[in-house]
Chains A and B, each alone.
Chain A
Amino acid sequence: MDAFLHQVIGGLATGGIYASVALALVMIHQATHLLNFAQGEMAMFSTYIAWALINAGVPYWGAFFLTIAFAFVLGLAIQHFVMRNIRTTSVLQLVIVFIGLLVIFNSVAGWIFTYTIKVFPSPFPKGDLLGQKYLSPHELGAIGVTLVVLTLLWAFFRFTSLGLAMRAAAQNPGSSRLVGIRVAWMLALGWGLAAAVGAVAGMMVAPIVYLDPNMMAGILLYAFAAALIGGIDSPGGAVLGGFLVGVLENVLGAYVVGNELKLGVALVLIIGVLLVKPSGLFGSVQVTRV
């Protein structure tokens, strides 16, 4: 029983990370209507930048915010120079571009920083939290930081006119222009925000899984699954989905199928849910009149 509890709580801890990344994906989908597969690699690359800064002597929180700024600009730049110039007629063309970006970032990170695993520091104290061994201070702190960031983002999209304009620009660029929204800027902003949030998630995850170029791949996949199971347009669903996926992963891996198959089986279970509720547990069915 104790072991099972350990798996569940451990699953909640990793689930918190998945929840954060999933929330970022949902947020950015709201702004850009795209699922950026390269998000994970961009986050990983930004985390390496943070590592380089810290190694050069910059104090942690200084490096943290500098990296967020770097990631924001990186996202802006990619949207402005790459995405804006592609004449797309189908989603698949965008998917290929994302795959291209993903592969480039991964490869360049490996080339510049090598594939040796690096240690990334945590800003939170070490040792046991309140005397228990299930949840470390960093894991709790990480969830806290990312949830704060994401609450800010949610409020931004929901309550500010700029946030509303970004959502509008993603859904209907033509009509957005007719109300005076500068659509190109909105998309660039969306990308910048996405990259910044990704960087935060990356910096929170790195102390746990150690920094290496392939760090984000598995996390991104689980985060996608979490976002979809929660409903791609439901922030709350994404969070719940993240925890669900984290626990599933741990429990399945420990008791049902072993570590090798746990990824596949978790995904299969998620598909099972989707078959029953195709727009996710909390997703709204978007009604469009024909």
Chain B
Amino acid sequence: MSAVAPAATAPLSPAAASQRRLQWIGLAVVIAVACALPFLVSNYRTFQFTLVLVYAIALLGLNILTGYNGQISLGHGAFYAIGAYVAAILMDRFGVPYWATVPVAGALCLVVGFLFGLPALRLEGHYLALATFALGVTMPQLLKNKAVEKWTGGVQGIVIVKPDAPFGLKLSPDQWLYLFTLAIAVVMFVIGWNLIRGRVGRALVAIRDHPIAASAMGIDTARYKSLAFGVSAMYTGIAGSLGAIAIQFVAPDSFAVGLSIGLLTGIVIGGLASIPGAIFGAIFVQFIPNIADQISKAAPWAIYGIFLIGFMFLMPMGINGAIRLGWARLCHRIAAQQKGG
């Protein structure tokens, strides 16, 4: 009988090791391309890709909560809005430099998300969806309210100025902002990746799949679930602040309930409970509405709806799921050929 080594420390088989190497190489290529991007395309495209990065961060946040932890949120647009307004108010009213607003937005949303997560513990499924939906619906109204108009600028919103590249670097503001956002995105993804594959990630998934068994094993379900809300809100808040800086404008109606629904759509289409899924979803959220508009000026949302249903038909596990399935089938076929040949 061979001894069974613990999974984390056992040496990999040659096949698995070479697959792992391939993944690292692939990742390096992706990051290299991402860095080179702003120098290869127009400023407007760079701006669009900055937004893709922004959505990717938000989607990763939502995925932590909904994909890995199973808590549905139809209100994450609210956290995005909070992050955006924090950035705008700090920059416009207090002259805080843009890069300092990002961590503040993140910290504030972490707290707000955690606080929201506490009462949400009692709600499941539909009820939680409704509660988060209420949050998403109310946020624009709160932002328009007369009481806080002094800070939020009411219906008109706030205009902010896009920062120039620092240290006199020869980059356009769009290019600089893209690289800045990319750096933050990489950091957030690394943190998220570590979180997911560590003890926290396993606890979150255990709670999603078998809450009773999880708590019977000693996992503090309540703490992890509220933490998941907090962390997820933090990510989305950071995304919101970056988004505000990129778009240079915040107004209540930009953060209507359609944003929350769009984010949820993004993670399902990109691939639930997957990290690359956040990126695929972000690409979908940013570009598909434009494509739909080009296909039909009369009823673009109908085309968008057809895209949604089509994706669920063809790729129920999202883009990430489809890729993994395709890759597995390819490997299976290669292995079978090698055995036969």
Contact = CB atoms under 8 A, between A and B. Distances in A.
**Chains A and B in contact, CB within 8 Å:** yes
A275 B122 contact: yes
B246 interface: no
A101 B134 contact: no
Quick one: which of A87, A91, A107, A228 has the most chain B CB within 10 A? A107
B312 A96 contact: yes
B24 interface: no
Interface-central residue, A86, A95, A261, by most chain B CB under 10 Å: A95
Interface of B: 66, 72, 119, 122-127, 130-131, 133-134, 137-138, 141-142, 144-145, 212, 261, 264-265, 268-269, 272, 298-302, 304-309, 311-313, 316-317
Nearest to B317: A89
A79 interface: no
A100 interface: yes
A267 B268 contact: no
B126 A111 contact: no
A interface, size bucket: 35 or more
Interface of A: 35, 82, 85-93, 95-97, 99-104, 106-108, 110-111, 221, 224-225, 228, 232, 260-261, 263-265, 267-268, 270-271, 274-275, 278, 290
A86 B316 contact: yes
22 contacts: A35-B126, A86-B312, A89-B317, A91-B72, A95-B264, A96-B268, A96-B311, A99-B308, A100-B312, A106-B301, A108-B302, A110-B299, A221-B133, A261-B142, A261-B145, A267-B130, A267-B137, A271-B119, A274-B122, A278-B122, A278-B123, A290-B212
A224 B119 CA distance: 20
Given A92-B72, A96-B269, A221-B133, 18 more contacts: A86-B316, A92-B264, A92-B272, A95-B72, A97-B312, A99-B261, A103-B302, A104-B301, A104-B305, A108-B302, A228-B127, A260-B144, A264-B141, A270-B130, A271-B123, A271-B131, A275-B119, A275-B123
A268 B122 CA distance: 15
Contacts of B142: 261, 264
Contacts of A89: 316-317
Contact of A90 (B123, B126, B265, B272): B272
A90 B141 CA distance: 32
B72 A271 contact: no
Contact of A92 (B66, B300, B305): B66
A267 B316 contact: no
B301 A107 contact: yes
Contacts of B212: 290
Contact of A93 (B137, B138, B268): B268
Given A267-B137, A268-B134, A270-B130, A93 B305 contact: no
Nearest to B262: A99
B302 A104 contact: yes
Contacts of B312: 86, 88, 93, 96-97, 100
A278 B136 CA distance: 20
Given A92-B264, A260-B141, A100 B126 contact: no
A28 B134 CA distance: 23
Contacts of A261: 138, 141-142, 145
Nearest to A279: B127
Nearest to B144: A260
Nearest to B139: A264
Most B Cβ at <10 Å: residue of A96, A111, A275, A278: A96
B189 to A, nearest CB: 22
Given A92-B264, A93-B312, A232-B126, A264 B305 contact: no
A278 B124 contact: yes
Contacts of B119: 271, 275
Contacts of B137: 221, 263-264, 267
B313 A85 contact: yes
A250 B216 CA distance: 46
Contact of B305 (A90, A103, A275): A103
A238 to B, nearest CB: 13
A11 to B, nearest CB: 19
Nearest to B216: A290
A100 B302 CA distance: 8
Contact of B316 (A88, A102, A104, A264): A88
Contacts of B133: 221, 267
B141 A92 contact: no
